[in-house]
A and B are shown apart, each in its own frame.
Chain A
Amino acid sequence: MPQDRHPHPLALVIHRELMRIKRHPLYLAFLTAGVVFSYIFFITLMKEGQPERLPIAIVDHDGSYLSRRLCHELNATEGVEVTAVYNSHAEARHAMQRQDIYGFIEIPEGAYADLLAFKAPHMALYANNAYLLPGQLSYKTLATICRLASGAVHCEILRKKGMDEEEIMAMVQPIVLDAHTISNPMANYQPYVLTTVLPGIVGLMVAILTIYIVGEEQKRTTAREWLKCARGNMAAALAGKLLPYTFWFSLLGILGNIVFFGSQHYTLQGSFMSLVLLTVVYIASLQAVAVLITALINDMHMAVCVGAIYTTLAFTMSGFSYPVTSMPPALQAFSFIFPLRHHYLTYVDIALYGAPASQWLPHMLPMVALCATFFIAGLIMNRQMVRYETTK
């Protein structure tokens, strides 16, 4: 068979690249170790899902049964833990500035006596918003407990008036809000942060590695031999060079997804196979953009810099933490060129909503479009090679 005697140039380049990896396995090993480290780091760092038992304090000007009661109620929640009782506001403020506590509740003098006399003692809640997450969570728990305490007293009054339980509830809480957090019932931080940050880190590795290996061929003047191996076919040369890495990093991404949805039990409404497809397209689009960067910027150091800035900016521009819709319009358009942005949108469709393919494919299309930059890069590099040959 003629194919056997003349293997496809793509196969030749893939073989050549595999041999190169075999000779210098350190790069790939280093990057893989980085990816594995980040998975372990993030999953163990946020193992609580939502911060629990945040330290708070009570400032007790009253010194009555009330503070003890509040303390018990607060400690019974999973959100906060009373770690100190202070005598003055100033002490609590200093504790806050020392970061010993994230919030405190101040009980005024004579609060208990006022309460018994129906004089509505005024409580004050303080929360530290300079640390957004713990500050808001501790505030939420404090406010809930205050409302519950209020409600309990209200119940007691009505009970003494001789109302029955049903009437009392209708009076104390006329409207009940049933809140449903779609596909994340525990309001867990992990699936929300990690499913975007970790693909982002993999993306950073892929982009820099791609720029490095392609740039290295030019720098070490092995580009001629490389192109010869591909029988002068630039597209085959590039594709053959990149495919082993596409495979390897897709594999890492898929393994990551198995950890997320298998062992960490994040919600997955859609099919796992669509996530596999998402990972492969994501890695491929990043490689394509990275090749384009290499083709456009001749200085490899500069190209690596640009590639790194591009992939780290993607964390912000993906909009998982701060929504893109709240950014200035110019930046909103700018977010289109970041594969991580489309990865995030597609992931939400598949995992959180279990949307049909007709829904998430449009989000994947921009990534496919970014893959097409691969051919533009090929053309540019081809021209560069031709110019290089003719000058020689």
Chain B
Amino acid sequence: MRLLNGLKDIFDVFVIELRRIAADKGVILIFFIATLLYPLIFGAIYKKECVRDVPVAVVDESRSDASRRFARKLDATPELDVRYRPASMAEAEQLMQQRRINGIVYFPKDYGTDLADRRQAHVALFCDMSSFLYYRSVFSGASAVLLDEMEFVQTERYAAQGVTGEAVEEQLSPIPFDDVKLYTPSAGFESFLVPGLLVLVIHQTLFLGIGILSGTTREDRKTLEMIPRRLRHKSIYRVTLGRALTYLLIYMPVVAVVLFTIPKLFGLPHIGQTGELILFLLPFMLATIFFCMTAAAFIHHRDSGILCFFFLSIILVFLSGIVWPQSNMPDFWRHFSYLFPSTHGMQGFVRINSMGATLKDVSFEYHMLWILTGAYFITTGVLTYLENYRQLKRGELLRHIRLQRALRSNTPHKRHHLRAADKVDEAAQQ
């Protein structure tokens, strides 16, 4: 019977919370529009994945056959585009300053003769460091050409010694290697960043939505309504559970679209098992909801909630270990990051979704999420209790008297009295 009552209470809270959400246009906007809009924006921005045809300049002082061949090969790489051939380094530097090029390849005067005389020849490469993607493209493009060109020269030199064919191969690379770039072969920016960000979108929209709901409620000084009247002296946990259930149910379709449909739609990696993902996302959602409810207890204004949201989003991206590896964070920040469900959520989702990991592989994250669920569930309960207790104490006496009278009278006017008690309550608060 107690259980049945409890379930009924939870259901009541569920309905009340649903009404509150439905009444707030801003929250509806965040829960259903923003969650879809963010992935679309990311998709549009990072559509090209990689930086291709980065403009570079070639300064060729050797004017030799070899340097021209090198430059031709540079132009042929997908990464680079030899757009300028200035006569001097000074000119090239100016082009770099004007941001027309992102790299300079310089062949000194004796490049050609050194090669012809079987000496070591030198090439200088100058990389623009204003963005790491430029640096990566310029460096990897030039390195690839360098290796190719070296092999060409070496083969020539061996041929001059009368060594040809397979014998050259064996001598040139006694330990050849194949490289396998796992999970996102193109090393694309989108496939690396966006899956993590999708999880963060879920985490942060919940944070903002719940924060705004309670911020608005507090601004209107209706805090007591966070708990329905009938339940005020009963279990706080029924209220907490009921509210959490609301968010969980509302977010089920959202999660389905954002984390399951969008990766497929955008061609992001999605090699994870659906079952494993669902099992992993359940504690993630619960931990996130309770975390947000706990955090919301400290948000007293709608606008400070919004500021916290955006500030936290930036910090959480860097704490997640997606941008900066977890293994290289100072211990303090790594342990700090464990407090946020988003860290585990992003790590786990990326590994299951993009790398095909199983639940066993992410067991640390999985267990941490359950621990966080428990911990934040308790803190939510305690904070809700404290807040309501404090509020109650103020208008308690007046309310108590009125309520007792209303209950005792037990007439058809009871509801009227109760409503009167409400008004007194509100007056007392103000």
Q: Which residues of A contact B (CB under 8 A)?
A: 30, 34, 38, 41-42, 44-48, 51-55, 94, 96-99, 102, 105, 115, 118-136, 139, 143, 146, 149-150, 153-154, 157, 166-167, 169-171, 173-184, 187, 189, 192, 197, 200-201, 204-205, 208, 212, 300-301, 304-305, 308, 311-313, 315-317, 319-323, 325-328, 331, 344-345, 348-349, 352-353, 355, 359
Q: Are A45 and B124 in contact (CB-based, < 8 A)?
A: no
Whether A132 contacts B192 in the complex (CB less than 8 A), given A120-B169, A143-B177, A308-B307, comes out as yes
Q: Are A176 and B122 in contact (CB-based, < 8 A)?
A: yes
Q: Are B174 and A154 in contact (CB-based, < 8 A)?
A: yes
Q: Are B177 and A122 in contact (CB-based, < 8 A)?
A: yes
Q: Are A131 and B177 in contact (CB-based, < 8 A)?
A: no
* 10 A-B pairs in the complex with CB atoms less than 8 angstroms apart: A54-B325, A94-B361, A124-B177, A128-B182, A133-B323, A139-B179, A154-B172, A174-B157, A179-B139, A182-B126
Q: Are A97 and B125 in contact (CB-based, < 8 A)?
A: no
Q: Are B325 and A102 in contact (CB-based, < 8 A)?
A: yes
Chain B residue numbers with a CB within 8 Å of A169 are 120
Q: Are A208 and B303 in contact (CB-based, < 8 A)?
A: yes
Q: Are A129 and B189 in contact (CB-based, < 8 A)?
A: no
Instruction: Identify whether the interface residues of A are mostly helix, strand, loop, or mixed.
Output: helix
Chain A residue numbers with a CB within 8 Å of B429 are none
Among the listed B127, B157, B361, which residue makes an inter-chain contact with A98, where contact means beta carbons less than 8 Å apart?
Answer: B361
Tell me how far the C-beta of A256 lies from the nearest C-beta in chain B, rounded to whole angstroms.
Answer: 15
Q: Are A149 and B175 in contact (CB-based, < 8 A)?
A: yes
Tell me how far the C-beta of B279 lies from the nearest C-beta in chain A, rounded to whole angstroms.
Answer: 16
Verify if B414 is at the interface (C-beta below 8 Å from A): no
Chain B residue numbers with a CB within 8 Å of A128 are 182-183, 355
Tell me how far the C-beta of B312 lies from the nearest C-beta in chain A, rounded to whole angstroms.
Answer: 10
**In the complex, A352 Cα to B97 Cα: how many Å?**
9
Q: Are A52 and B328 in contact (CB-based, < 8 A)?
A: yes
State the 7 A-B residue pairs at the shortest beta-carbon distance, nearest first. A97-B357, A153-B174, A123-B177, A184-B129, A130-B183, A97-B361, A134-B325
By beta carbon, the residue of chain A nearest B173 is: A150
Chain B residue numbers with a CB within 8 Å of A205 are 307, 311
By beta carbon, the residue of chain A nearest B130 is: A348
Verify if B133 is at the interface (C-beta below 8 Å from A): yes
By beta carbon, the residue of chain A nearest B317 is: A315
Chain B residue numbers with a CB within 8 Å of A105 are 177
**In the complex, A124 Cα to B357 Cα: how many Å?**
21
**In the complex, A326 Cα to B51 Cα: how many Å?**
6
Among the listed A54, A124, A355, which residue makes an inter-chain contact with B328, where contact means beta carbons less than 8 Å apart?
Answer: A54
Verify if B236 is at the interface (C-beta below 8 Å from A): no
Chain A residue numbers with a CB within 8 Å of B176 are 120, 122-123, 150
Among the listed A38, A123, A125, A170, which residue makes an inter-chain contact with B119, where contact means beta carbons less than 8 Å apart?
Answer: A170
Q: Are B139 and A44 in contact (CB-based, < 8 A)?
A: no
Q: Are B153 and A174 in contact (CB-based, < 8 A)?
A: yes
Name the segment of B142-150, B249-257, B386-394 touching the other chain: B142-150
Chain B residue numbers with a CB within 8 Å of A327 are 44-45, 47-48
Verify if B32 is at the interface (C-beta below 8 Å from A): no
Q: Are B26 and A177 in contact (CB-based, < 8 A)?
A: no
Chain B residue numbers with a CB within 8 Å of A316 are 45
**In the complex, A128 Cα to B192 Cα: how many Å?**
10
Verify if B16 is at the interface (C-beta below 8 Å from A): no
Among the listed A118, A127, A187, A301, which residue makes an inter-chain contact with B135, where contact means beta carbons less than 8 Å apart?
Answer: A187
Verify if B326 is at the interface (C-beta below 8 Å from A): yes
Among the listed A34, A179, A187, which residue makes an inter-chain contact with B311, where contact means beta carbons less than 8 Å apart?
Answer: A34
4 more contacts with CB within 8 A, not counting A54-B328, A99-B347, A122-B177, are A129-B192, A130-B183, A150-B176, A174-B118
Among the listed A115, A166, A177, which residue makes an inter-chain contact with B175, where contact means beta carbons less than 8 Å apart?
Answer: A115
**In the complex, A374 Cα to B159 Cα: how many Å?**
73
Chain A residue numbers with a CB within 8 Å of B354 are 130
Among the listed B125, B179, B325, which residue makes an inter-chain contact with A125, where contact means beta carbons less than 8 Å apart?
Answer: B179
Verify if B297 is at the interface (C-beta below 8 Å from A): no
Whether A115 contacts B174 in the complex (CB less than 8 A), given A177-B125, A187-B135, A316-B45, comes out as yes
Q: Are B179 and A143 in contact (CB-based, < 8 A)?
A: yes
Q: Are B127 and A180 in contact (CB-based, < 8 A)?
A: yes
Q: Are A171 and B157 in contact (CB-based, < 8 A)?
A: yes
Q: Among the interface residues B123, B178, B303, B357, which one has the most CB atoms of the partner chain A within 10 A?
A: B303
Q: Are B178 and A125 in contact (CB-based, < 8 A)?
A: yes
